[in-house]
């Protein structure tokens, strides 16, 4: 399919793998999408920034880069920066089209239905989009696709009006008569409110007058506050809605000055926010923020998981705002046609963007149109760049990478690309087509795809490398196994007992080569310790401390898709302890802190798996204590491992340094935090070539994974 992407300050139309439909999502074939002059033009400018420009605008990026340099080293940091700077940025957040397919769990929409969709991460300028149900609404038959495509802008304006709580007969000021301002004026007029509008642009002033604004003022040619006072009969307007976009503080302070006592100021646009208390205090004004499309915005439970707010408690959600706006358009109470300055086919998107930044035309709204022929094929989900010119070599494994997130692009892919004598990066697959395209180009892959099942069926692929969300690991590994592919799966093996046991059963039946990325045991420090203690017949004692850091309760790692921190990360620590003991786990006891309230100085609410101690005992008498905590300081090293064995003490500090105390003391330092990611891939390839036995037996992988579930059962995961 075709999709509009921004790259290095330029607008490009690229052939991208079409998305697949997910449970709770709707697959839409776009007929029209609208470009806003504010948000999307600023994105064009941002993609053209240099690294220095980005650092000035977002100084937190500098700190993040320094942290990565310290932990990942220069080459890996350079790979990540290179990928980010050259990345294509998908844009768009308001469109209309026809449903192609609905995901599981949706029974109130159907293929072929006319719909409008919103969402800056979903409603892209693309021939096909996949959008969560709560961001999709039906389009009445009497509304054109071009008009319905404005649904997001309409919902934003409508939410701003709702925040103002207008009543019949009030008077209001609208500051900023761009697209949102023009729609806001019409919504207020439909509510029986008298409106005075302000803008610096005489064209915007004229347009507002044509759509029925009671009084329109060029704010650069007079005193806006005085005009508003005159308009309101000297009392001041009942409320002011700011739809302007400027870093200046003047719009906000003018809005405060022109309001009556006990008035309201609603901020919709991105404006300067320095307020003089002396202006607010005597009038006892309410200054309100309007959050985008309405209640539900930025709540993943509502937007992505599809949990609606009961109408009896939340009358107007973002979905209901979208529906209401389209109803008003259909009843001709809102005129969209007069606001559309131009319509362009998708292939002419660059011309459309140029028109938006033109000083002469300065259009309010530009619409992109798409081929609406149902027989046109737009659902290609695996795209080959060119026929692979290199014949397959003996011993080199063709790898299909499913999941092209930051870990894959900063760790596994750079490692694979440096091991051309062992691996060939064949296909990059990601649910986000533009991401798959960018990463495939960066690492010279043969294909990019958005369909994991197609990748698993590809006869040219030998190994599937899974770096997707945790809840997908077991099912994708089973699909790969059923198609005869070897599997390298990032941890965890699964997020619950049923799916993990089902996977293990299938792997045993098929004999599929399978490895979980428990990389710590492959680190240079761990292998050195294992070599030193392998001849010691006595039990060992291990103390493993993990300064894991705090994650907010809505972080994906805590969610059902993440599985929790013990399953998702502490599995590494359990595996390493089992590696050092060389014995079967006999017993596990887990205790936890259930809350950070009360005596907490941080004020954070901790989940039961944020702060856990695991006590492990093994058949050979060895014992291990793992302390996993979110209570520590971020400046403190993350991982420390102490192994006591046969008169020796081995201490690993963040996998950067190994200290050995015993008959001959020694210290080994490493270039960075060497956690064994490269080494595990080498071991995997050797195993696949038949040079060494299984790096980690399936029974050990299963033992570690089941231990994490047992820990949750004991602490009562919440």
Q: Please measure the distance between the N-terminal and C-terminal CA atoms of the chain and give it in whole angstroms.
A: 42
Report d(CA 687, CA 689) in Å as an integer. 5
pLDDT of 57 above 50: no
CATH 3.40.50.720 location in the chain = 153-297, 393-516
Per-residue pLDDT band for 326 (boundaries 50, 70, 90) equals: very high
The predicted model scores a pTM of 0.86
CATH 3.30.360.10 location in the chain = 520-677+689-715
Report d(CA 555, CA 605) in Å as an integer. 13
Report d(CA 273, CA 290) in Å as an integer. 14
pLDDT of residue 598: 43
CA 424 to chain centroid: 28
pLDDT of residue 602: 47
pLDDT of residue 556: 87
CATH superfamily, domain at 2-150+336-369: Medium-chain alcohol dehydrogenases, catalytic domain (3.90.180.10)
Mean pLDDT along residues 420-424: 95
Which pLDDT tens digit goes with each residue over 557-600?
888 889 999 999 999 999 999 999 999 999 999 999 875 444 44
**In 3D, which of 229, 233, 232, 235 has the Cα closest to residue 254?**
229
CATH topology of domain 520-677+689-715: Dihydrodipicolinate Reductase; domain 2 (3.30.360)
Query: Helix, strand, or coil here: 268?
Result: coil
Mean pLDDT along residues 4-15: 91
Which pLDDT tens digit goes with each residue over 116-128?
999 999 999 999 9
Are the C-beta atoms of residues 147 and 329 closer than 8 Å to each other? yes
CATH 3.90.180.10 location in the chain = 2-150+336-369
Contacts of 158 (CB under 8 A, 6+ apart): 183, 187, 294, 321, 324, 325
Mean pLDDT along residues 449-467: 96
Per-residue pLDDT band for 671 (boundaries 50, 70, 90) equals: confident
Per-residue pLDDT band for 356 (boundaries 50, 70, 90) equals: confident
Query: Helix, strand, or coil here: 412?
Result: helix
pLDDT of residue 41: 66
CATH entry, 393-516, from 3.40.50.720, 3.40.50.2300, 1.20.81.30, 3.40.250.10: 3.40.50.720
Which pLDDT tens digit goes with each residue over 38-54?
666 665 655 554 544 54
Q: Say if domain 153-297 classifies as CATH 3.40.50.620.
A: no
């Amino acid at each position: 399919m075709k999709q509009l992407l921004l790259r290095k300050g330029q607008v490009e139309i690229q052939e991208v793998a079409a998305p697949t439909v997910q449970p709770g999502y709707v697959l839409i074939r776009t007929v029209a999408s609208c470009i806003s002059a504010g948000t999307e033009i600023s994105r064009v400018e941002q993609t053209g920034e240099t690294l220095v420009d980005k650092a000035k605008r977002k100084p937190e990026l500098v700190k993040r880069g320094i942290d990565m340099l310290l932990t990942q080293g220069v080459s890996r940091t350079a790979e990540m920066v290179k990928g980010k700077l050259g990345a294509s940025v998908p844009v768009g957040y308001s469109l209309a089209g026809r449903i192609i397919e609905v995901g599981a769990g949706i029974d109130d929409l159907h293929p072929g239905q006319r719909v409008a969709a919103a969402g800056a991460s979903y409603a892209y300028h693309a021939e096909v989009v996949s959008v969560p149900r709560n961001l999709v609404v039906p389009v009445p038959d009497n509304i054109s696709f071009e008009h319905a495509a404005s649904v997001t802008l309409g919902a934003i304006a409508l939410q701003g009006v709702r925040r103002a709580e207008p009543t019949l007969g009030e008077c209001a000021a609208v500051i900023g008569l761009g697209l949102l301002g023009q729609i806001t004026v019409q919504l207020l007029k439909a509510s029986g409110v008298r409106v005075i509008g302000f803008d610096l642009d005489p064209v915007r002033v004229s347009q507002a007058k044509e759509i029925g604004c009671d009084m329109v003022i060029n704010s650069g040619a007079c005193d806006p506050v005085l005009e508003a006072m005159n308009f309101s009969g000297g009392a001041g307007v009942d409320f002011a809605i700011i739809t302007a976009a400027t870093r200046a503080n003047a719009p906000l302070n003018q809005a405060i000055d022109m309001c009556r006592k006990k008035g309201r100021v609603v901020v919709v646009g991105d404006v300067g926010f320095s307020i003089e208390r002396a202006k607010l205090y005597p009038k006892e004004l309410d200054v309100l923020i309007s959050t985008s499309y309405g209640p539900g915005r930025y709540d993943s439970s509502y937007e992505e998981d599809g949990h609606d707010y009961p109408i009896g408690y939340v009358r107007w959600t973002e979905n209901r705002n979208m529906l209401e706006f389209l109803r008003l358009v259909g009843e001709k109470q809102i005129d969209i046609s007069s606001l559309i300055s131009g319509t362009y086919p998708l292939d002419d998107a660059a011309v459309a963007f140029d028109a938006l930044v033109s000083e002469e035309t300065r259009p309010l709204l530009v619409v992109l149109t798409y081929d609406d022929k149902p027989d046109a094929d737009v659902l290609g989900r695996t795209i080959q760049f060119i026929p692979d010119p290199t014949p397959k070599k003996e011993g080199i494994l063709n790898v299909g990478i499913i999941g092209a997130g930051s870990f894959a692009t900063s760790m596994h892919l750079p490692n694979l690309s440096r091991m051309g004598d062992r691996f060939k990066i064949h296909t990059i697959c990601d649910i986000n087509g533009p991401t798959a395209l960018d990463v495939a180009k960066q690492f010279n892959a043969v294909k990019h795809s958005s369909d994991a099942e197609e990748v698993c069926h590809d006869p040219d692929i030998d190994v599937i490398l899974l770096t997707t969300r945790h809840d997908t690991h077991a099912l994708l590994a089973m699909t790969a196994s059923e198609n005869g592919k070897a599997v390298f799966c990032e941890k965890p093996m699964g997020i619950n007992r049923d799916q993990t046991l089902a996977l293990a059963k299938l792997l045993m039946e098929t004999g599929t080569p399978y490895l979980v990325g428990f990389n710590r045991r492959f680190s240079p420090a761990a292998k050195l310790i294992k070599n030193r203690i392998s001849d010691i017949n006595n039990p060992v004692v291990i103390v493993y401390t993990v300064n894991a850091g705090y994650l907010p309760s809505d972080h994906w790692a805590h969610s059902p898709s993440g599985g929790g921190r013990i399953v998702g990360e502490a599995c590494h620590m359990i595996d390493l302890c089992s590696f050092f003991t060389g014995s079967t786990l006999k017993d596990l006891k887990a205790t936890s802190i259930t809350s950070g309230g009360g005596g907490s100085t941080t004020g954070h609410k901790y989940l039961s798996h944020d702060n856990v101690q695991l006590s492990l005992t093994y058949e050979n008498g060895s014992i291990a204590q793992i302390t996993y905590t979110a209570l520590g300081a971020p400046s403190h090293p993350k991982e420390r491992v102490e192994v006591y064995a046969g008169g020796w003490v081995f201490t690993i500090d963040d996998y950067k340094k190994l200290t050995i105390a015993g008959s001959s003391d020694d210290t080994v330092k490493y270039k960075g935090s060497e956690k064994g990611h490269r080494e595990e891939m080498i071991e995997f390839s050797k195993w696949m070539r038949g040079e060494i036995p299984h790096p980690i037996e399936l029974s050990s992988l299963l033992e570690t994974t089941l231990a994490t579930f047992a820990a949750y059962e004991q602490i009562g995961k919440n």
